Amino acid sequence: MENIIPSIVIFDNTGSGKSTLANTLVGQENVFKESNEVESETKETKGEYGFFDHQLTFIIDTPGINDASGLDSPHLVSMAQYIKEHIEIKAFIIVINFILVKLDEGVKRLFQLVDNMYPGKKWYHNLGVVWSNYYPELNEKKKEKQPKIDGFKRFIKNYIVPSITDDELNNIPQYFVDSIEAREENNNRSREELKHLITWASQLKSLNENLGEIQEVEAEIKSREEEFETKILTEKTILNTKYILKSQFKREKLTMYNGMISYTDWEEVPDTRKETKEILPIKPVGKPTIEKRKRIENEKPVEVITGKRPVGNRRYILFGPRKRVNTGYIEYSTNTIDEERTCQPMNDGTIKYGEWVEKSRKRERSRTHF
């Protein structure tokens, strides 16, 4: 008779609630050590039988990846060896903290290890995802599942299995659970999610039957090599000066004995921040504005000594029989000129002015009598 016990191996990066989920699935609270600290409580791969919702289960808890003790490599070797010895295992479950999503180099390394255990095989057909800490009290906006689902699909496609199809990605089940809520003996949402997980795992063929015998793997680190890179932290431009804040970052390149290469996360090197200045070429910024002005232009006055209307600019002097006529007026001609010029702001804070251009002219005459 086919074994229908859902034998599940659970892994995560430290602090995602893996051991809490494992305890929930075996129906007990203290079988696997639980911790919310950076350093994982689980130091070795361990499997236990139990019951969840009256269903017999076999749950395997693994050490957290990227824990503070730096024991990832022995942990990975131990996990691979344990899986090899338990041919009845049906499913891999990756646990991810819904609140603090962390899909980093450690998770990549773990998936690459699984890929090396089953080279060329579609092991992801036996992969499921549990999003932990999906608390009932989260507001509706923070409970949105689709961004998390899509983000995990991109992670698998971009970093783990580039050849995976969209249909295969969609067939990786993803569950949203609060493990503490799921322990309550009522039909709450988290408990229903785990029931679906158990049903899914029960129907799978074992890894050994579906993928063949596990391959020997070696995850020990052969060498560590530090890599440095200068990165720009901030850039800001004030007038025509650009201020650039840079700092040095480092990471480790890890070469395994099996040829696999992985990298730690970039970390900033202390006391390497430095701000530099770059003077930019002076150039226009924004749209130019128009400045207007009126200019008054007076022509030379014309003196007229007579009451008779002058012709042109000629001066008339009339003499009577005994005396000179000495009455008349002075006529002025005034031009009012409207002019404009462009004002173009420049990136150094100055303004570049264009030439004044005459737009219109109005001529007026006035007289002063004497």
pLDDT tens for 203-250 read 888 888 877 777 665 556 667 789 999 999 999 999 999 999 999 999
- In tens, the pLDDT along 21-33 reads 888 888 887 788 7
Which whole number is the average pLDDT over 339-365? 91
CATH number for the domain that contains residue 180 = 3.40.50.300
Name residues whose C-beta falls within 8 Å of residue 294's C-beta, 6 or more positions apart in sequence. Answer: 336, 337, 338, 339
The domain tally of the chain equals 3
Kindly state whether residues 304 and 357 are assigned to the same domain.
Answer: yes
Scored b (16 or more CB within 10 A) or e, 227-240 reads: eeeeeeeeeeeeeb
109 in a domain, yes or no?
yes
Kindly state whether residues 41 and 101 are assigned to the same domain.
Answer: yes
Kindly state whether residues 228 and 298 are assigned to the same domain.
Answer: no
15 in a domain, yes or no?
yes
- In tens, the pLDDT along 270-313 reads 999 999 999 999 999 999 999 999 988 876 666 555 544 444 54
Q: pTM score, two decimals?
A: 0.57
Give 168's pLDDT tier (boundaries 50, 70, 90): very high
Kindly state whether residues 270 and 302 are assigned to the same domain.
Answer: no
Is-contact 239 347, C-beta < 8 A? yes
Nearest to 91 by CA among 225, 254, 251, 207: 207
CA–CA separation, 25 vs 297, rounded Å? 98
Nearest to 12 by CA among 2, 4, 20, 3: 20
CA–CA separation, 17 vs 11, rounded Å? 10
Give residue 340's domain range: 289-369
Kindly state whether residues 301 and 226 are assigned to the same domain.
Answer: no
- In terms of Cβ atoms closer than 10 Å to its own Cβ (0-12, 13-18, 19+), residue 365 is exposed
Kindly state whether residues 19 and 155 are assigned to the same domain.
Answer: yes
- The CA-atom distances, in angstroms, between 81 and each of 19, 32, 75, 145, 146 are 20, 19, 10, 34, 35
Tokens of 263: 């990298």
Kindly state whether residues 142 and 28 are assigned to the same domain.
Answer: yes
- In tens, the pLDDT along 172-184 reads 999 999 888 888 8
Q: What is the pLDDT of residue 131?
A: 92
Kindly state whether residues 158 and 131 are assigned to the same domain.
Answer: yes
Kindly state whether residues 129 and 252 are assigned to the same domain.
Answer: no
